[in-house]
């Protein structure tokens, strides 16, 4: 009996050591949402000299980016407690999806206690949600859920197969109904995964549809970088560091060959294949693409959304004059008619002036549009709201 006890104790000791090695020693809860909506961050880093947390829940500060100096997340110091755990507690936070990282002795890293991560270009950060109001649209609720599929489509114009993400609404698989389609385009540095991971598209659509605020629809999220067949690590190029501006970005080829995407969707999904049941929208570069795609195919979309659109001159390498005759083709789009031309941008967005000038052009030619101006800058916090506001306006009888 004594030998069995010794063996059991040895097993427990070995298992405990293994668990400690596996999980890295002392475990902490981070981030912890408190009753008053404050959040406590903790990091077990006994050998660190300084620990900070940086995130979009803090007052912004100026940072250098590929697009110039912009507002970025602020930083704040954590305090080391007696047990060597570093701690910081926020003020009560408004409901929102927030992202953050730790900075340990100048090295930026993720929170080892939080497995929930997102990638934006080459930056990986943790996320958490303070529930309530708008943020409840970003949560997985107890409602019927749609399906997200990762598909490959053939693009004869780009001479390759390319990856695409497609959301189908709850009940799609078990019905014979035909659905309208929203083509939702990402910004520079993004890919076919961006609107799902950063934009919370599936959660937003599930919740809007369940509340009866949006019609059931298919949402198509293509890769707008014509030099890629898929997101980094998901395509034939394998694993490489994501770039903000990939080769052949915004050169007209994507717009010129967008019909390949529409043809794939309308050949493989039960859709209402007419102008009244097609919408296109995008953020930043995707807003630029949406502007030009809807203009060069003026009888294709009844709903157009420009979210912080990157309205700027670019060299046309499409071979089809995609950026030519801008005013003439824009007037053709206006004359053909549409149900909604929706422009939204933040007051601090670095593209604010370009959008202001574009609206002046539309005003001068008498082209109808709706305009929304929000706080903040060129950030996902705005684009999630824009999608949440835009989707309920689509496909109204």
Burial class (CB in 10 A: 0-12, 13-18, 19+), 180: buried
Domain with 377, as residue range(s), is 138-393
101, 131, 161 - which closes a domain: 131
The C-alpha atoms of residue 53 and residue 79 are separated, in whole angstroms, by: 11
Report yes or no: 37 and 98 within 8 Å, Cβ to Cβ.
no
Q: What is the CATH number of the domain that holds 42?
A: 2.60.40.10
Same domain, 335 and 231: yes
* Pick from 104, 85, 109: nearest CA to 32: 85
**Same-domain pairing of 107 and 203:** no
Name the residue among 352, 348, 338 with its Cα closest to residue 309: 352
CA–CA distances in Å: residue 32 to residues 41, 43, 63, 87, 281: 7, 12, 28, 11, 36
Tell me which of 131, 148, 165 is where a domain ends: 131
Task: Indicate the angle between helix axes 380-390 and 201-210, nearest 10 degrees.
Answer: 30
Task: Report d(CA 242, CA 246) in Å as an integer.
Answer: 8
Angle in degrees, 0-180, between the axes of helices 326-336 and 285-296, rounded to the nearest 10: 70
Cα 170–Cα 173–Cα 177 angle in degrees, nearest 5: 80
In a domain, 3, yes or no: no
Nearby residues of 95 by Cβ (< 8 Å), 6 or more positions away: 37, 130, 131, 132, 133, 134, 135, 136
Residues 332 and 251 in one domain: yes
Distance, CA of 354 to CA of 116 (rounded, Å):
36
CATH number of the domain where residue 352 is located: 3.40.50.1820
Number of domain units in the chain: 2
Give a yes or no: residue 388 inside a domain: yes
Domain presence at residue 378: yes
32 in the same domain as 159: no
Print pLDDT tens along the chain (397 aa).
Answer: 444 443 343 344 444 443 443 444 557 899 999 999 999 999 999 889 999 999 999 987 766 655 566 667 889 999 998 778 999 999 999 999 999 999 999 999 999 999 998 888 778 899 999 999 999 999 999 999 999 999 999 999 888 899 999 999 999 999 999 999 999 999 988 888 999 999 999 999 999 999 999 999 999 999 988 888 767 777 778 876 777 777 778 888 999 999 999 999 999 999 999 999 999 999 999 999 999 999 999 999 999 999 999 999 888 888 888 999 999 999 999 999 999 999 999 999 999 999 999 999 999 999 999 999 999 999 999 999 999 999 999 998 7
Largest CA distance in the chain: 94
Residues 321 and 259 in one domain: yes
Report the candidate in 46, 8, 42, 82 with the shortest Cα–Cα distance to residue 16: 8
């Amino acid at each position: 009996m004594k030998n069995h006890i010794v063996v059991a104790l040895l097993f427990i000791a070995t298992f405990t050591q293994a668990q400690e090695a596996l999980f890295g020693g002392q475990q902490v809860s981070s981030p912890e949402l408190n009753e008053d909506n404050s959040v406590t961050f903790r990091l077990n880093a006994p050998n660190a000299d300084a620990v900070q947390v940086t995130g979009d829940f803090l007052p912004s500060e100026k940072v250098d980016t590929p697009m110039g100096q912009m507002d970025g997340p602020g930083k704040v110091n954590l305090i080391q407690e007696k047990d060597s755990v570093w701690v910081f507690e926020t003020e009560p936070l408004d409901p929102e999806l927030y992202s953050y990282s730790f900075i340990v002795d100048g090295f930026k890293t993720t929170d080892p206690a939080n497995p929930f991560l997102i990638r934006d270009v080459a930056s990986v950060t943790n996320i958490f949600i303070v529930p309530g109001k708008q943020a409840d649209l970003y949560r997985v609720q107890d409602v019927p859920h749609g399906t997200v599929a990762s598909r490959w489509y053939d693009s004869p114009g780009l001479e390759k197969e390319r990856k695409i993400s497609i959301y189908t609404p709850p009940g799609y698989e078990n019905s014979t109904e035909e659905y309208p389609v929203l083509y939702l385009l990402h910004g520079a540095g993004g890919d076919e995964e961006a609107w799902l991971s950063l934009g919370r598209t599936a959660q937003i659509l599930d919740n809007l549809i369940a509340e009866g605020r949006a019609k059931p629809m298919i949402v198509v999220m293509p890769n707008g970088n014509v030099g890629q067949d898929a997101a980094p690590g998901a395509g034939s190029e394998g694993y490489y560091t994501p770039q903000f501006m990939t080769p052949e970005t915004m050169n007209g080829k994507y717009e010129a060959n967008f019909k390949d995407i529409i043809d794939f969707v309308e050949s493989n999904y039960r859709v209402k294949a007419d102008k009244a049941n097609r919408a296109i929208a995008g953020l930043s570069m995707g807003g630029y693409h949406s502007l030009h795609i809807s203009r060069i195919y003026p009888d294709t979309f009844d709903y157009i959304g420009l979210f912080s659109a990157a309205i700027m001159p670019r060299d046309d390498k499409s071979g089809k004059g995609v950026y030519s005759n801008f005013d003439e083709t824009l007037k053709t789009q206006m004359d053909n008619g549409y149900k909604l031309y929706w422009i939204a941008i933040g007051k601090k967005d670095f593209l604010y002036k370009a959008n202001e000038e574009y609206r002046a052009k539309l005003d001068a030619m008498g082209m109808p549009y709706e305009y929304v101006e929000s706080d903040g800058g060129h950030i996902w916090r705005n684009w999630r709201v824009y999608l949440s506001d835009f989707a309920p306006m689509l496909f109204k009888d």
